[in-house]
Amino acid sequence: MELEPLLAWFVGASSLLGFVSILRRYGRSYPGWLFAHGLVLVVLGLAWLVVPAHAGLLGAIVFVPMVLLPSLANRAAARFIARRRFDRARVAAQVAAVLHPFDGWTAVPELLRAQGLIERGHRDEARAALEALARGSGRAAREAWLLLLRMDTRWHDLIAWVDASPERQKLLMQPEVASNYVRALGELGQTARLAEVHQGVIERLGRAQGPGWLANNRLVYAAFTGQPDAIAALQAGPFLQLTPSLVAFWTGTALQARGDLQAAEAVLVPLALGQDPLVAGPARRRLAEPVPTFDLAAHGQPRLLDTVLAAEGPPDAQTTLAAPGRGPFPAVTATLIALNLAVFALEIPGGTTDVRNLLRMGALVAPAAYLEGEWWRVVTSAFLHVGVLHLTLNMFGLWIFGRFVESVLGRARMALLYAICAPGSMALITLLTPANESPYPVAGASGGIMALFGAIASIMFIRWRAHRSLGARRELLYLGLLFVASTAFDLSTPEVSFLGHASGAALGLVMGALLAPRRRRT
């Protein structure tokens, strides 16, 4: 099986989607990423014209170091930042900066070092590092300046800096500026202005910045507007990445804003007496100077639980493929990947692309007349792969789709779905292939992976029907586009089984509909 076209499609689709997504969300704010994705597309296109047999490989040579690896390093840094492990985040950011020395990334490791110093209480050393960064230009300099103002609680200066800018609206559309500006308004008791900026800026920015960023900013809004119930809902959801002590601090703030000073004191006093430097000082300041009470109804502001949180459904109905949220380790998905890797290791001595070796190890044969009653092959063939590239791409898809399905259905239902659909798609291939066709071998996990894809479509459709969630509708649109692209590739590539992919997706749709959790819309 020749999989070079599959690699070309994967690289091309990934870079095209990345280019369009960055341009749509951020405009030209990240020229380095636009250049990286654009270069991949140019190299891939030229290679397709000159040496089409090696276009996928040449595109991947550019794609891996310029797009894939820095993206993975950046995501690792973001995860460590969310857990407040700034030393590890700095290492990941250094790797990302080496691979992608554009868009101000080279200054990010030093910014993270300063945040780690603040975390450990070395404020003077952190101040020196931040002041040096702030003298530069670009996003990192702006973030360093904002962190300095926040560290010194210079909220008046922060608001004055934004309001005095001739490009105030453009400045507020920078996520780090908007977050700090809203925080400053809340700290100074300008809650009505805070509510206006949150509705007009934060919710709008959240569509591009993602659910994690939006959850953190909704928490600050809920705190200053006296909505501890909304904070509890956010904490129960999959996206809030704050420590329990920070969530408790904001809960105490919300209780003050609601006018429940006694309950707020019960939450804040233990924090003020504790050893966590991030919340001890702020908690003492809250106790000394409580935030003003805020009446949502009097200011014409709806409760967060009655609007956006209600529209998006319960916390466990808000996850997406790109943001699967918190949850237990996807053990079933990891086990399936391990099994595929183990079987591939057994293929190696006889040749992973040798047809006779694959048939000896259990590859499927279609049509059914040539199967000679060996139906056990519908199981074994789902764990065999033709070459390293075939295995790598399938395991990538299994991880992306599998961890999401497992987070929604749970381990037992995930295992049941895969156990039925992976061999089921193989059985349908051999049963539906016309009897007069020449026999051909079939191997690979793609039928099971497409079943996971179909299950995700069912899950998102059920969510949309139950909650009319905009996120679920958007995810359905993306899935539809992906299926169209996959179908076009399957039909144009003889080595790829469209029947296997389509049957897997159909089985997954049915099983996903049967196994997906349901809630009535309230």
Question: Could you tell me if 394 and 381 are in contact, meaning their C-beta atoms sit under 8 angstroms apart?
Answer: no
Residue type, 245: S
156-203, pLDDT tens digit by residue? 999 999 999 998 988 898 899 999 999 999 999 999 999 999 988 888
Q: What is the pLDDT of residue 521?
A: 47
- Identify the CA nearest to 162 among candidates 191, 186, 142: 142
56-71, pLDDT tens digit by residue? 889 999 999 999 999 9
13-25, pLDDT tens digit by residue? 889 888 888 887 7
User: What distance, in Å, lies between the first and last C-alpha atoms of the chain?
Assistant: 51
Q: Is 365 left (phi over 0), alpha (psi -120 to 50) or beta?
A: beta
Cα 202 to Cα 168: distance, rounded to the nearest angstrom: 15
- Identify the CA nearest to 180 among candidates 205, 166, 422: 205
Cα 384 to Cα 368: distance, rounded to the nearest angstrom: 19
Which secondary-structure segment (H or E) carries 338?
A: helix 331-347
Cα 35 to Cα 42: distance, rounded to the nearest angstrom: 10
3-state DSSP of 486-514:
HHHHHHHCCCCCHHHHHHHHHHHHHHHHH
- Specify which residues 441 forms β-bridges with: 365
**Taking all residues of the chain, what is their mean pLDDT, rounded to a whole number?**
87
Share of residues in the chain with pLDDT > 70 (%): 92
Helices assigned H by DSSP within 64-174: 69-82, 86-99, 108-119, 123-134, 139-151, 155-163, 168-172
- Per-residue pLDDT at 82 exceeds 90: no
Give backbone dihedrals phi and psi of 441, rounded to 5 degrees, phi first.
-85, 150
Q: Is 364 helix (H, G, I), strand (E, B) or coil?
A: strand
350-373 burial, b at 16+ Cβ within 10 Å, e below that, comes to: eebeeeebbbebbbbbbbbebbee
Cα 165 to Cα 181: distance, rounded to the nearest angstrom: 13
Share of residues in the chain with pLDDT > 90 (%): 53
What six digits make up the tokens of 456?
Answer: 């995700």
Q: Is 441 helix (H, G, I), strand (E, B) or coil?
A: strand
Q: Class for domain 325-515, per CATH? A: mainly alpha
Q: Which residues contact 519 (CB under 8 A, 6 or more apart)?
A: 313, 314, 317, 466
Cα 54 to Cα 233: distance, rounded to the nearest angstrom: 51
Q: Any idea of the CA torsion for 337, 342, 348, 350, to the nearest 10 degrees?
A: -120
Task: Please state the separation of Cα 459 from the chain's center in Å.
Answer: 17
Residue type, 310: A
Cα 359 to Cα 355: distance, rounded to the nearest angstrom: 6
pTM of the model: 0.73
> Which of 289-293, 295-299, 317-321, 499-503 is predicted with the least confidence, judged by mean pLDDT?
317-321
3-state DSSP of 26-68:
HCCCCHHHHHHHHHHHHHHHHHHHHCHHHHHHHHHHHHHHHHH
Give backbone dihedrals phi and psi of 442, rounded to 5 degrees, phi first.
-135, 135
Q: For the chain, what is the total number of helices (H) and then of strands (E)?
A: 27, 2
Q: Say which DSSP state 326 is in.
A: S
452-484, pLDDT tens digit by residue? 999 999 999 988 887 766 667 778 887 887 788
> Which of 3-7, 275-279, 334-338 is predicted with the least confidence, judged by mean pLDDT?
3-7
Across residues 246-265, what is the average pLDDT? 95
User: Domain ranges in the chain?
Assistant: 153-311, 325-515
How sure is the predictor about 225, in pLDDT bands with cuts at 50, 70 and 90? very high
Question: Could you tell me if 126 and 117 are in contact, meaning their C-beta atoms sit under 8 angstroms apart?
Answer: yes
- Specify which residues 442 forms β-bridges with: 364
